[in-house]
Amino acid sequence: MAEFDDSDLPDPSLMNIIEQDSLKWVFVGGKGGVGKTTTSCCLGVQLAKSRKKVLIVSTDPAHNLSDAFCQKIGREPTPIQGFDNLSAMEIDANDDMEQMQQSMEEAAGADGGDDSAISSIMAELTNSIPGIDEAMSFSELMKQVQGLDYDVVVFDTAPTGHTLRLLSFPTIMEKALGKVMELKDRFGGLINQASAMFGGGNGADMQEMLVGRLEETRSIINKVNDAFQDPAVTTFVCVCIPEFLSIYETERLVQELSKFGIDSHNIVVNQVLFPEKDAEELGEWLEENISDLPKEAQEICSKMMARKKMQDKYIGQCFDLYGDDFHVILMPLLDHEVRGVEKLKNFSESLINPIDLEG
């Protein structure tokens, strides 16, 4: 892409993340279908070269880590074949919420309480406060991950909307506690009566159990939130493709991250056609040679050129918006899928070895 003079721009690679030994949490996010999972896996592969223990966690309900590494990956850290210091796990927020509710019901049952009262309160909470289920399951995830002995954790996050909700969890937890106290005041007597009617134990105990769990969740999330806002510990890698909607979504994500005080200074642009080539040069070559090509080849080349020009326009916008402050990494569109350890290793080299934009 000859029109870019990259001499004064930040290094167009993720080497800054690899070299920052203090980093504990690396989030990879962006619009759906832009290559977040591939980027997360490649980053994990590169981090494994210099860190003792690396974990990749998928919080996207549409898990793809198993597909990317071509091996079964479950809810517990699974060692990646071919590495002795890289593991991956896939988390399901809905399952976590159900398990949490079940454990609370079992605790209530052990105390002679009524399971249905816990279920009712949890259902009321989930309906009243959108995101409370995700907030509580995220708290469980972070508690689990913090208990594991990993130098750095790479999060392959859900599409942008889910990721932005993750940032608002501290606010959600404050609302949840307020709502529980309100429910306790309004329905405390009713729950006690219902528990007694159905032969259960003390309804107040169940309410205290729920308040205790929410307090614990809020404490974890607030602690995690402090870590998230520390650029020495946490950074966010934005992933996009050179198309209007994806660039627009990235701008929204960057602004939200800034608003929440979360460090972000890397943007990975995936699926770039011939990143080292310039559309004008390719266009000149095509103009000179198109008459020598068969009709089908002319159509294919013309469509490719139209796509290349569109991509160059949005890549130019990306550099205009972020080039001065962000490391913008252009990842080439390949003629094969990036699946399996060897292909991920090969592709990951493009994250740390910059493409010469003046080539």
Rounded-to-integer distance, Cα 206 and Cα 72, Å: 39
Shortest CA distance to 338 belongs to which of 352, 327, 329, 349? 349
* Contacts for 111 with CB less than 8 Å, ≥ 6 apart: 201, 202, 205
Residue whose structure tokens are 């976590």: 96
DSSP string across 230-258: -TTTEEEEEEE-SSHHHHHHHHHHHHHHH
The per-residue b/e assignment along 145-163, b for 16 or more CB within 10 angstroms, e otherwise, is beeeebbbbbbbbbbbebb
Catalytic residue among 6, 21, 60, 111: 60
60 counts as catalytic: yes
Rounded-to-integer distance, Cα 238 and Cα 30, Å: 6
* For helices 132-147 and 169-197, angle between their N-to-C axes, nearest 10 degrees: 110
Which pair of tokens denotes residue 184? 């306790």
Q: Do 238 and 266 form a contact (C-beta atoms < 8 A)? A: yes
Q: Do 45 and 15 form a contact (C-beta atoms < 8 A)? A: no
* Contacts for 334 with CB less than 8 Å, ≥ 6 apart: 347
What is the spatial order of strands in the sheet that 266-272 belongs to? 78-79, 86-90, 54-58, 152-156, 25-30, 234-240, 266-272, 327-332
Can you name the residues that pair with 328 across neighbouring β-strands? Answer: 267
Which pair of tokens denotes residue 358? 């003046």
Q: Residue 250: what are its φ and ψ, rounded to 5°?
A: -65, -40
Catalytic residues: 60
